[in-house]
Amino acid sequence: MSADYSLIGKRIRTKRKAAGKTQEQLAERLSVTVGYVSQLERGVTKINLDILSEICSVLNCDMSFFVTGTATGESSYLQEELVKKYSMLNQSQ
């Protein structure tokens, strides 16, 4: 399974906007350029775990949200995981 960097970038953009931060503000907090943040949000550049971890700190969220779309702390997380596993079963299982 390969990472969908475009989807990760969209989730970063969504969280950034929800936090009321601009790309410029996020870039400043991460000590990177605005262009780099833009590339991350568009999925043009692959994000490394160190930067992703810093983004989580700045935006106050769980890293799993960016990768899976669901934070492990959410109450619906386990339910969603069970539904995924259940849907993969065949008739005999």
Distance CA 78, CA 8 (A): 21
pLDDT for 66-93, tens place per residue? 888 766 555 555 666 677 777 888 877 7
Residue 38, exposed/middle/buried by CB under 10 A (0-12, 13-18, 19+)?
middle
Find all residues with CB under 8 Å of 9, minimum gap 6, and list them.
40, 41, 42, 43, 44, 47
How big, in percent rounded to 5, are the helix, strand and coil portions of the chain?
A: 65, 0, 35
Report if pTM > 0.85: no
